[in-house]
């Protein structure tokens, strides 16, 4: 019998942890050729009344300050890190942005030590999305001592499964092989993915012996069960997001998973693209987070957590009240701090 641990208790919230960098607040590097980086700096952030970026590329206004001083009016963001873009393979989608901070030469030996890393994978139904949508979260993670890598990967319908998994594995391999460029410890890398990127993050943590590849996985609204996503999108009254996800699953695997005459090769791709298929002993520990009213229900992650726990792998499922999905879940300050603290617990031990 599978047991699932549902963790709904928020961790302590750090003071002013919800500071937000507006979209476009700092320039992004142009794509670099074949592993050659380009760097960019960061001008001062615009006034608080401008829209703010969220991890999945959406935006929301920040409340303007009134006559008195409020916490939102005095929030301070950390100074900008170094940034560069690298190509981890051929093609315009096989690129990653790197965010890191140069060790202070006057600091002690701890500051000079190799740093843990976080590989971030964007969402977008495997059909869209971009690494740049994670700029703000990357900036916050570097202030906690991480080197951050935000990767793009091949999209459907141009590329079909398992190209997406091959891409993110290639990105991870590139990062490890070039760890010296950013003072990175290649044995301490956590993957953070959102929605479709959460699905890919759980693949990195389960395919093969996941714990040998990554130290841990955080997946926000991961599409873990392709069969469930396909079924839910075909239900009477399914909302637009579920219908779109159903279509995305069909494009990803190249078939309709529930059709009686589906080709065996197509069904094998569905099975291979489902992380539970690969879950077992030796996988990476995971933190799986969902909104209670979102279109990728928590049952996706409960199924995966059960399979991991049956193999002796730590897996925690956390829910956040409301319809927030993917990167939007990090707008909740307690959830953001809980995610960051969990990453600390597995990457800095």
| The pLDDT of residue 191 is above 80 | yes
| The pLDDT of residue 328 is above 70 | yes
What pLDDT digit, counting tens, does each position of 65-117 carry?
333 333 343 445 667 899 999 999 999 999 999 999 987 666 555 656 899 99
pLDDT band at 300, cuts 50/70/90? very high
What is the architecture of the domain spanning 55-347?
Answer: 3-Layer(aba) Sandwich (3.40)
Residue 210, φ and ψ in degrees, nearest 5: -60, -35
Helices (H) then strands (E): counts for the chain = 10, 10
Average pLDDT over all residues of the chain: 81
Name which of 208, 174, 180, 173 is nearest 280 in CA terms. 208
| The pLDDT of residue 303 is above 70 | yes
| The pLDDT of residue 5 is above 90 | no
Q: In what order do the strands lie in the sheet with 184-194?
A: 82-87, 95-100, 147-151, 115-121, 184-194, 216-220, 286-291, 315-320
Residue 315, φ and ψ in degrees, nearest 5: -145, 130
H helix runs in 134-225, sequence order:
135-143, 163-177, 196-206, 210-213
pLDDT band at 169, cuts 50/70/90? very high
What pLDDT digit, counting tens, does each position of 19-67 carry?
333 333 323 333 344 444 544 333 333 332 223 334 444 333 333 333 3
Of 301 and 30, the structure prediction assigns the larger pLDDT to 301
285/214 Cα distance (integer angstroms): 9
For the CA atoms of 113, 115, 116, 117, the dihedral, rounded to the nearest 10 degrees, stands at -160
Q: What angle do CA 139, 143, 147 make, to 5 degrees?
A: 70
314/179 Cα distance (integer angstroms): 27
Mean predicted confidence (pLDDT) in 205-233: 95
Output the pLDDT for position 133. 96
Output the pLDDT for position 210. 86
Output the pLDDT for position 127. 98
| The pLDDT of residue 7 is above 80 | no
């Amino acid at each position: 019998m599978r047991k699932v641990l549902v963790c709904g208790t928020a961790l302590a919230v750090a003071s002013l942890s919800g500071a937000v960098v507006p979209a476009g607040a700092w320039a992004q590097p142009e794509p670099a050729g074949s592993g050659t980086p380009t760097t960019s700096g960061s001008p001062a952030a615009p006034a608080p009344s401008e829209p703010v970026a969220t991890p999945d590329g959406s935006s929301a206004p920040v409340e303007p300050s009134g006559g008195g001083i409020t916490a939102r009016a005095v929030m301070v963001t950390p100074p900008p890190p170094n940034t560069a873009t690298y190509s981890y393979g051929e093609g315009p989608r096989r690129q990653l942005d790197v965010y890191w901070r140069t060790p202070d030469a006057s600091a002690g030996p701890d500051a000079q030590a190799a740093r843990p890393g976080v590989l971030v994978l964007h969402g977008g139904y495997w059909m869209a999305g971009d690494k740049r949508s994670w700029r703000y979260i990357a900036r916050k993670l570097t202030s906690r001592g991480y080197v951050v890598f935000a990767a793009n990967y091949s999209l459907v319908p141009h590329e079909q499964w398992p190209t997406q998994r091959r891409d993110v594995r290639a990105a991870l391999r590139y990062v490890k092989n070039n760890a010296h460029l950013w003072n990175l410890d290649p044995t301490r890398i956590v993957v953070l993915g959102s929605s479709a990127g959460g699905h890919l993050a759980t693949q990195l943590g389960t395919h093969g012996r996941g714990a040998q590849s990554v130290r841990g996985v955080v997946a926000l609204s991961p599409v873990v069960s392709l069969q469930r996503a396909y079924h839910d999108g075909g239900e009477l009254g399914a909302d637009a997001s579920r219908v779109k996800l159903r279509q995305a699953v069909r494009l990803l695997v190249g078939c309709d998973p529930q059709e009686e005459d589906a080709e065996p090769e197509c069904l094998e791709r569905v099975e291979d693209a489902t992380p539970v298929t690969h879950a077992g002993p030796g996988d990476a520990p995971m933190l799986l987070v969902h909104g209670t009213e979102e279109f990728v229900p928590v049952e996706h992650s409960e199924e995966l957590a059960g399979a991991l726990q049956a193999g002796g792998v730590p897996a925690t499922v956390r829910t956040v009240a409301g319809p927030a999905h993917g990167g939007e879940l990090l707008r909740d300050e307690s959830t953001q701090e809980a995610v960051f603290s969990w990453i600390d617990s597995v990457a800095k031990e």
